[in-house]
Amino acid sequence: MAEELGFSKGLAGVVADATSVSQVQGEDGRLIYRGISIEELAEKSTYEECVYFSLYGKMPTKNQLTKFNTELRHNRVLPKAVEAVIAAAPRSAHPMAVLQAAVAAMGFDEQPVNLKNEEANIHNAIKIISQLATAVAHISRDRRGLAAVSPNTEMSHAENFLYMLHDKVPNKEEARIFDVALILHLDHDFNASTFSARVVASTEAKLSLSISAAIGALSGPLHGGANEKVLEMADGIGAPEYAKEWVLNAIATKAKVMGFGHRVYRTMDPRAKVLRGMLEKLVATKSDKSTYETLRIVHDTMIEELGKTSKDYIWPNVDFWSGSLYRLMDIDSIDFTPIFAVSRVAGWSSHIIEMWRDNRIYRPSAKYVGPTDAKYTEIKNRK
């Protein structure tokens, strides 16, 4: 009898591969991109600089960043085939399903993978990163019955996305807040969507198709769809004055409180901390503070009540505050997960390109739990 292999449901604790792109230090509540803390990058960097850092493994010089920005900005226009895929989708379709199809269509004219040509793979990633943002804005406006807005090559990645989404130039403060949100979501080691991208790319599938697979994984409510569920929860509570009672009832009945807990973090998610700071600045400029106030009371009540008895899973994750932040920017909740992809596509691409340097197809073993000596029964004798 063959020796039984190790088994871990959900691959918890299993080291599947090595990476230098990012690391989650769950016990300490720390996230680093290639060694630099997310807090420092959020304070000092830009999304474009972080994308370069993620793809190339080093910070760019001024000239390198200028050239990189130019390439990003001049790859924003969608191919006609991608526009046709978006136009063919029913408006009732979830934008993540449309986005998955649109990104797959980006690969119609993509060349087969050449693992030895890393520079070409990086340039292909830059094109997909640029076009994915345009596709998300296009899909959102199409769903709302609005004409697509052509990208503006004079704007940053964050500014241009908000411009394409709303057909108006965003103010500098909101553009910077959105830029930081993109930085915070850029990568998160071997999460479900990144692992999906790596599995597909390990077969040497095209980059666009590997990214399309990652989008499918991201669409689930246990992954990228969580911030949309947080706002559904807040809307269901109704108003801030009902929030504390709602939480107490949820705790008593062991109901799920969306946006709390994480598979890796055992303390405050560092991204949540940065997001809340930005959210508090933004909410101070808005007249409607009800969603934020509801979530603030949910947060404080959860910490107060669960902190009495447990030290586990009482902290909010990044999804708890991000939805409220995007709502204040007049973004529909159904667009939250596609916006997650606008950021995370850079991380997915970086992992794939890194993996291709020493590629081996993923082929894990399974723990078989079925019968081992069953007999075939003729159809005439089956009951």
Integer distance in angstroms from the first to the last C-alpha of the chain? Answer: 34
Q: How far apart are CA 244 and CA 219, in angstroms?
A: 30
* Residues 85 and 101 sit within 8 Å (Cβ to Cβ): yes
The set of residues, in sequence order, having a beta carbon less than 8 Å from that of 252 and lying 6+ positions away, is: none
Asked if residues 218 and 326 have their Cβ atoms less than 8 Å apart, the reply is no
Query: To the nearest 10°, the Cα dihedral for 67, 68, 69, 70?
Result: 50
Active site residue 269: no
If you write DSSP's letter for every residue of 66-123 in order, what string do you get? HHHHHHHHTT-SPPHHHHHHHHHS-TTS-HHHHHHHHHHHTTTTPPPP-TT-HHHHHH
SS3 20: coil
Q: Which of the residues 187, 269, 319, 335 is marked catalytic?
A: 319
Element (H, E) at 373: none
CA distance 89 to 139: 9
d(CA 343, CA 187): 8
Which candidate, 16, 6, 8, places its Cα nearest to that of 194?
16
Catalytic residue among 188, 262, 299, 351: 262
Based on the number of CB atoms within 10 Å of its own CB, is 376 exposed (0-12), middle (13-18) or buried (19 or more)? Answer: exposed
Residues designated as active site? 262, 319
